[in-house]
Amino acid sequence: MTTRPPAEIGMSLDDVDTPALLIDLDAFEKNLSKMAESVNSHGLRLRPHAKTHKCAQVALRQMELGAVGVCCQKVSEAEALVQGGVANLLVSNEVVGGRKLDRLAALAREARVAVCVDDAGNIDELENAAAAVDVRLDVLVEINVGANRCGVEPGSAALALAQKVRAAPHLRFAGLQAYQGKAQHIRDYAERRAAIEAAAKKAQTTVSLLSSSGIGCRIVAGAGTGSWQFEAQSGVYNELQAGSYVFMDADYARNRNADGSMFNEFEHSLFVFATVMSMPEPRRAVVDAGLKSMAFDSGMPEVAGSESIRYSGPSDEHGNLDLSATNTPIRLGDKLKLIPGHCDPTVNLHDWFVCVRGGRVEALWPIVARGAVW
């Protein structure tokens, strides 16, 4: 860790330097408990995605509340979390290339490690890497259930890979990865549900085909924050991988509930704290948080508690606030909480979570897998 945190434990929120990445601990804890209890009440397993937070403290809290482990997207992310004490990880992604596979296999000496595959040659390379250090890796065959990212087609292509995994002495066939990422941000409830019902059908067809060949799927994994209730009700998924629910970004808040209201299952708990650093015009303020403090791929941030103030025009270190529609007086030096559009790539821009409760800094958590994208 190279940079000092922008705050000290015990300090008042007003004194936290900016831009800083804040966690509102009350909201965050509610989100963690709500998901843990709901998944548990369905009799399913939760394996939250750690690409959202990249933080060992968060992963360990999720596991204290019953999560079986966490998902990672990259080997380096998994390495950072294992170093932070996380002992059960699924790299919910394909790992390709000798050096990466060697690192993945080495990690399995320290923690329970699983990985996804969608290619026969990759299974041979995984087997070789695992054999070289004498470990056994859990392997999920990834199927394409509509997201058109990685994954073989459901059915016979998946069966062929499962058989190949089962024949590899240092690999253990663990089941299917069937994540429908594209469905997560479908705004309309019924359309979102239909996308997951279609995905679940494809997963079910594949589970049945494997079963008729004598192959059981211990794990059928998928689900994100936008769709997890549907996977939970599907009768086929048994391990849910939602990640963003811990923070709830502005983009997820644009999804709709069944009655058409805005998606409010979880509370915003992640904020970029910013300072008004210039007031060049009476109705325009400039804050010190731009492209290097937040991700903009899912749109502009919202200003927490002030819907009439619009953020626009980010550059590296600046953003404009349009004050023409607000009565809230804004002065130079004021600090504001911004709700980022997309939580995961926002987190990856910061080294520290400044954890706040009751207006005070309660904890500082290092984002140990920040930048761990290889």
Ligand X SMILES: *Cc1c(COP(=O)(O)O)cnc(C)c1O
Q: For binding to ligand X (CB under 6 A), which residues are involved?
A: 49, 51-52, 71, 92, 179, 181, 184, 224-225, 241-244
DSSP string, 205-260: HHHHHHHHTT---SEEEE--TTTHHHHHHSSS--EE---GGGT--TTGGGSB-TTS
Q: How far is the CB of 241 from ligand X (least distance, A)?
A: 4
Beta-ladder partners of 287: 276, 319
Least spacing, CB of residue 245 vs ligand X, in Å: 6
Q: How many CA atoms lie within 13 A of 202 on its CB side?
A: 24
Query: Closer to ligand X at the Cβ: 238 or 244?
Result: 244
Residue nearest to ligand X (CB): 224
Residue closer to ligand X by CB (options 17, 267) is 267
Q: Which is nearer to ligand X, 231 or 288 (CB)?
A: 231
- When the beta carbons of 116 and 286 are compared against ligand X, the nearer one is 116
CA distance 82 to 72: 11
- In sequence order, the β-bridge partners of residue 363 are 355
Q: Rank residues 55 and 336 by Cβ distance to ligand X and give the closer one.
A: 55
Q: Residue 368: what are its φ and ψ, rounded to 5°? A: -65, -25
- Nearer of residues 173 and 237 to ligand X, judged by Cβ: 237
For the bound state, the minimum distance from the C-beta of residue 180 to ligand X, rounded and expressed in Å, comes to 9
Angle, helix 156-167 to helix 120-132, in steps of 10 degrees: 20
Nearer to ligand X, 236 or 276 (CB): 236
Q: How far apart are CA 141 and CA 127, in angstroms?
A: 14
DSSP state of 14: G
How far apart are CB 52 and ligand X at their closest, in Å?
Answer: 5
CB-based burial, 6-40: b 16+ in 10 Å, e otherwise: bbeeeeebeebbbbbbbbbbebbbebbeebbebbe
- Smallest separation (angstroms) from ligand X to the CB of 86: 16
Q: How far is the CB of 71 from ligand X (least distance, A)?
A: 6
The token pair at 213 is 């060949």
What are the DSSP calls for 351-368, one per residue? SEEEEEETTEEEEEEE-T
- Separation of alpha carbons 20 and 67, rounded Å: 28
Distance CA 338, CA 155 (A): 45
Of the pair 18, 241, the CB lying nearest ligand X is at: 241
- At its nearest, how many Å lie between ligand X and the CB of residue 21? 17
Give the span between the Cα atoms of 116 and 143, in whole angstroms: 10
User: Least distance (Å) from ligand X to the CB of residue 149?
Assistant: 8
